[in-house]
Structure 1
């Protein structure tokens, strides 16, 4: 009878709370990452000053502390911990059998129950509660709000162990308070790994007591082109402004830089640890070591420091002093970072220095190594054994696969164009982190690696077997800072794309849908604003190419994608567009050569300026000819040529008829130069846009007029041009000089402002 009475009282209380506390529907809940399962029930739980927590063991304490910290700041509540569940409002319950990071969350009007098998599971559950609460929970000052959490039942677990973000401190530096803010962002979205790229050619950012010059001098540089270009861009875009606090005068010279003391590193690691985030340091070696070699020149092969054609001269691997130096550094680093992995970089090493160094050549011979790649692997294995002696594991970029590596090493795959690297590492049994340029390089503009592209990228290669997939630790996005000189710009580059990485790292690939995800992202923008995060908004489209006109032309602008509250402002006199200039409402007419600039605004958030020039064109008359055959003639010219200018048709050249402009059967084979020749038909008078994509280089001519100049040595890239054509047939010529590894030559056309179409036999003849 007593138990029945207790049950009836509990039912009455639940019904009473359900009637007074609001209910929520599916549209009200926007969790990122998407949970494995979500059930929404009637009513909600309300946090108040009397809310109590049951914390039963140490694995629950970090989560409880974080929850208490949120409410202490935003509501002024000081939750107490109790031992009895009957007095509690939030119950932490340790269970067995759940995956690391997994949790079960049950919320009803009477209580919240959180179940997990480890501390990260409890912590992740708190982040879910954080997202279910009003955005005011992010406030650093006491605010007035109703702290309701919807009644839900959530069962959730992560897909990957490694859910990471990377910051590059060498090119441009962010300070400890900014790092802490970034760690809070990671925590909110259940990301658990923070990769600190602490050293590179442009600056050394961690105190090493054995070698004080690394930070006394190596952390400070004379401003370089990465600084000057950012400062130039800052004239139109304040996001590129470099904080004056990052400069100081040394020996009468203005220097840029900064570094973390070892005490600050400990503070960062502890702050991350309280958020169940592991910090992985990267000390780049043996390449990207100029900041060290500048101040300890005995480390190089020649006793000098500097740049070769592309990369800097690396450390000499024929000197014992190099190995000693590296190990002394790492001896201090391993004491600061408790996680098992130490990242040593290993990418983009200029092996030419070793080819010319007698000491390195002797090391190759003495150790029975095949080449310079094996010399680097020999170095890696030596460093790896040293790290093992310190209880650590070695990690590096995917170049360390070349020359061989042990099964204990872990690899970060970044070169999307080298798919054999992750496959080789996975087959060898090495653990992998997927972080390719194809999607996860966030220093690339949002225009290229877009939110949708990032979200739809499947990180595990299709060729992987189930056993190889098991070696994938997870994924990571990288923020290389050449053009990220401020924390505000870093936020702009990271958000909202970081949310896509968070969901890719957490949700199964079967549990994903971009449209639904994007709807949730839009619901998160107010929370990002409450956190003071300056996020990317859609760019203005329509000014990516020069606009041609004969008499006048219509200019149409649009956003890259629709987003409520975003407006376009533009100018036609070359001045910076602000909310005080022209607001775009409809296409406008331009009848003179002007410079148009436009940018989008969402409140105080704006994005990069898009701009172009309007250029007057004279019509090119058509020729009096009617081709008898469809398509184009293609001429092949053998031999390696210096430039596209050297691609010329000889009288004895043989030609074949082709339907389209492509590399055809020559892709990946011995380079062969090509000329495509014939006639292009303009259906009506107008400004025509032409575009080419090639590796190596190309020119596109209409008659004798060079319309597209895509010359120079380069990988696959696009270039465009426009021209005014009278209706009818026009001579067209495309010259292509391939790279050493021929990959692509394509061409498109279209009336200005219209979608481009491929140049093929439908519009060409000879």
Structure 2
């Protein structure tokens, strides 16, 4: 009997050992961490987190990170992992090591344990986010998933490049709710971003409860539908990503109005939620401009006790009245009590100073304080507010316009005007801390096609001209989501992802060794995780429908994605209807023979992008002119005077002209009150449809054979317009009229056979 029991025991142990699955080994292709760690070494096998895995803490610093890890497994696996401070087998150990930089951590994973080392809580939290990305995507699930929770054997040493790795949301133009804010904070935490900028007030709405001034939210948080809403509504007819959240409408004073605001308790809830994720919330209360939502209800704040819009911007608060300063400080007194952040952002951008130029109160203040002009008046205001914030233990932050008129060394700026490097230079020379947030790369309200992922990833935030000392004053980077055309949370996700991942990596990883192809490969692996998080991210646009298609008989229409992405398919329609996954699936170029509207969009499972639309126009060939061309080039006429419309520019046979080889404005950049007309003939080297593109400031019209082919008229800054025409082989008369802006910068013409690459229109294609 004894021998039998021993045999049974051996058999049981044998089968138990056979039933244990070997732990998987991961490859480098499986590691898709964003941001990329500084040092990473991949090992054999992996660690499995089970319901009995212990979490061992040393001290209090790791607790926030450990609690977050416990919460992930509770939600996705229904594990009740225990925190303890005694040794355990097959455990996750959090150990404090003095001397590591803020945010830095070490992570070592082997088949029997995980060791996380940091000097303070942000380092521990960053390590947990790395573990989160190393785990299966199911860890993001809001319901229990039955999977094996393996983490690759790996050794990582890591720390951030910048201390400010930020994202911004604009609540004034269109409003977002507390739960949506929390979701966004979860996305930020996943990619180790640590600063959340809330733009809470602007002309279109006041979004934070201020108890001393209840009208700010009772009235100022609600507005009648405006042009931003109407544009979104127009787009929403075909694209639900532009649908305005109906829950943000309510009846106010008998009228249907849009709006919403956060109570102070809701703000505290957001701040606490962010704090649990080691994210600092920065409030922005825009002043003294972009203040209409306040002035509407407290009209004594303006210079003339009136509220409204001037030509471009609204009337600002009056800086010659003590009541303005009192009002601002009373607001900020409540703000600083709710937001524990070191910085309070006061905006300060795009202030319309014209009303101050005429205001007796402002002019009196300028004289009394010995100020040079209205810019120094704003700086006087900024310094007064800054001193007040200092008394509350806070620091002032503003957009880069606050540099004009002077700054104290303690103020911090956000440089957003990439076209004004002088503002950044002034701040750097003054020793001010700066956050880089330029339109050049970090304005995510711009469409993905215009501000793409590769451009953002390749953008270096610290100018080459900066000294080492000035570079150290760059606190970091931030991307902004202005919400004029972002009317709901799905659209906000679409604008933020995947570009937010480039900001996360640029804020963390050093400039040296950046590799877009490697980064993009990791981004593509993140999409499955974002699917679990229910993020409606951007997928590549459909190319081939960005310009009108002209045909004489028929043509083939080729479509392609802006860049390849696995699992993305193109669907299109030929009757102008909205394409769905039940529409025609694009397999190869298709033939069109008549006038029609083509619409196309891409899908990746349920994720879709914006629709691309093109009109197919049927035309007839324009016959070539029977002319004998003597010389190559153009005749150029210079006409003095100012013309209201481009078409008012006339040329006569007795006008003086000169021969030129190309179209440009180089000889006239210092001239005033001039206009240019180019005439000659364009040579079409075969029967085909030709495309012409002009780029100019001011305005231009391009005619071929007396037909207006490119209408780039109006009054505008540098912009491009195009047109097409079907031409028989031979010479065709061409006329270009150009009315420059007050500061002439550009006039140029390009051409190509439809579908080919545009080239400058020069001597070889023209004559007279």
TM-score band w.r.t. shorter chain = over 0.9
Corresponding residue SS for 1:712: strand
Partner residue in 2 for 1:722 = 724
Matched, 1:153 2:119: no
Mapping 1:567-646, distance limit 5 Å: 567-646=569-648
Deviation (angstroms), 1:87: 4.1
Partner residue in 1 for 2:317 = 315
Deviation (angstroms), 1:248: 0.8
Corresponding residue SS for 1:23: coil
Residues 476, 665 of structure 1: CA spacing in aligned structure 2 closer, same or farther, 3 A cutoff? farther
Residues 653, 352 of structure 1: CA spacing in aligned structure 2 closer, same or farther, 3 A cutoff? farther
Partner residue in 2 for 1:281 = 283
Mapping 1:167-566, distance limit 5 Å: 167-566=169-568
Residues 454, 18 of structure 1: CA spacing in aligned structure 2 closer, same or farther, 3 A cutoff? farther
Please tell me whether the aligned partners of residues 90 and 112 of structure 2 are also in contact (alpha carbons under 8 angstroms). no
Partner residue in 1 for 2:42 = 40
Matched, 1:702 2:704: yes
Unaligned regions of 5+ residues in structure 1, if any?
Answer: 1-14
Partners of 1:148 and 1:202 lie apart in 2 by: 49
Partner residue in 1 for 2:125 = 123
Please tell me whether the aligned partners of residues 683 and 765 of structure 2 are also in contact (alpha carbons under 8 angstroms). yes
Deviation (angstroms), 1:530: 0.3
Partners of 1:116 and 1:637 lie apart in 2 by: 72
Please tell me whether the aligned partners of residues 89 and 112 of structure 2 are also in contact (alpha carbons under 8 angstroms). no
Partner residue in 2 for 1:11 = none
Partners of 1:735 and 1:424 lie apart in 2 by: 41
Deviation (angstroms), 1:58: 2.0
Please tell me whether the aligned partners of residues 17 and 43 of structure 1 are also in contact (alpha carbons under 8 angstroms). no
Most deviating of 189-198 and 349-358: 349-358
Corresponding residue SS for 2:698: coil
Deviation (angstroms), 1:464: 1.5
Residues 146, 160 of structure 1: CA spacing in aligned structure 2 closer, same or farther, 3 A cutoff? same
Corresponding residue SS for 1:528: helix
Matched, 1:755 2:757: yes
Corresponding residue SS for 1:329: helix
Unaligned regions of 5+ residues in structure 2, if any?
Answer: 1-16
Residues 8-56 of structure 1, C-alpha deviations (whole Å, 9 max, x = no match): xxxxxxx999992111110111000111111101111110111111211
Most deviating of 684-693 and 518-527: 684-693
Partners of 1:103 and 1:546 lie apart in 2 by: 54
Please tell me whether the aligned partners of residues 414 and 435 of structure 1 are also in contact (alpha carbons under 8 angstroms). yes
Partner residue in 1 for 2:61 = 59
User: Aligned Cα RMSD in Å?
Assistant: 1.8
Please tell me whether the aligned partners of residues 82 and 88 of structure 1 are also in contact (alpha carbons under 8 angstroms). no
Partner residue in 2 for 1:20 = 22
Please tell me whether the aligned partners of residues 685 and 729 of structure 2 are also in contact (alpha carbons under 8 angstroms). yes
Partner residue in 2 for 1:12 = none
Deviation (angstroms), 1:652: 6.6
Partner residue in 2 for 1:77 = 79
Residues 161, 652 of structure 1: CA spacing in aligned structure 2 closer, same or farther, 3 A cutoff? farther
Corresponding residue SS for 1:716: strand
Corresponding residue SS for 1:167: strand
Partner residue in 2 for 1:674 = 676
Partners of 1:396 and 1:67 lie apart in 2 by: 36
Deviation (angstroms), 1:671: 6.8
Deviation (angstroms), 1:647: 3.7
Partners of 2:737 and 2:623 lie apart in 1 by: 23
Partners of 1:670 and 1:54 lie apart in 2 by: 76
Please tell me whether the aligned partners of residues 631 and 765 of structure 1 are also in contact (alpha carbons under 8 angstroms). yes
Corresponding residue SS for 1:330: helix
Partners of 1:18 and 1:466 lie apart in 2 by: 56
Partner residue in 1 for 2:8 = none
Please tell me whether the aligned partners of residues 668 and 743 of structure 1 are also in contact (alpha carbons under 8 angstroms). no
Most deviating of 562-571 and 213-222: 562-571
Residues 199-225 of structure 1, C-alpha deviations (whole Å, 9 max, x = no match): 000000000000000000100111111
Please tell me whether the aligned partners of residues 53 and 89 of structure 1 are also in contact (alpha carbons under 8 angstroms). yes
Most deviating of 259-268 and 56-65: 56-65
Partners of 1:339 and 1:455 lie apart in 2 by: 28
Partners of 1:203 and 1:139 lie apart in 2 by: 35
Partners of 2:186 and 2:247 lie apart in 1 by: 23
Deviation (angstroms), 1:533: 0.3
Partners of 1:755 and 1:548 lie apart in 2 by: 16
Residues 674, 57 of structure 1: CA spacing in aligned structure 2 closer, same or farther, 3 A cutoff? farther
Deviation (angstroms), 1:536: 0.6
In the superposition, the TM-score normalised over structure 2's length comes to: 0.95
Partners of 1:432 and 1:648 lie apart in 2 by: 52
Deviation (angstroms), 1:667: 4.5
Please tell me whether the aligned partners of residues 17 and 110 of structure 1 are also in contact (alpha carbons under 8 angstroms). no
Most deviating of 392-401 and 173-182: 392-401
Most deviating of 126-135 and 641-650: 641-650
Partners of 1:355 and 1:17 lie apart in 2 by: 84
Please tell me whether the aligned partners of residues 242 and 488 of structure 2 are also in contact (alpha carbons under 8 angstroms). yes
Partner residue in 2 for 1:10 = none
Please tell me whether the aligned partners of residues 283 and 345 of structure 2 are also in contact (alpha carbons under 8 angstroms). yes
Deviation (angstroms), 1:303: 1.0
Partners of 2:478 and 2:664 lie apart in 1 by: 35
Partners of 2:160 and 2:292 lie apart in 1 by: 39
Partners of 1:238 and 1:609 lie apart in 2 by: 11
Deviation (angstroms), 1:670: 5.3
Corresponding residue SS for 2:193: coil
Please tell me whether the aligned partners of residues 19 and 43 of structure 1 are also in contact (alpha carbons under 8 angstroms). no
Corresponding residue SS for 1:634: strand
Residues 519-540 of structure 1, C-alpha deviations (whole Å, 9 max, x = no match): 1111000000000000011111
Residues 693, 519 of structure 1: CA spacing in aligned structure 2 closer, same or farther, 3 A cutoff? same
Corresponding residue SS for 1:20: coil
Partner residue in 1 for 2:137 = 135
Most deviating of 421-430 and 192-201: 421-430
In the superposition, the TM-score normalised over structure 1's length comes to: 0.96
What number of residue pairs does the alignment pair up? Answer: 752
Most deviating of 674-683 and 35-44: 674-683
Please tell me whether the aligned partners of residues 53 and 88 of structure 1 are also in contact (alpha carbons under 8 angstroms). no
Partner residue in 2 for 1:103 = 105
Deviation (angstroms), 1:108: 0.7
Residues 376, 653 of structure 1: CA spacing in aligned structure 2 closer, same or farther, 3 A cutoff? farther
Partners of 1:99 and 1:708 lie apart in 2 by: 58
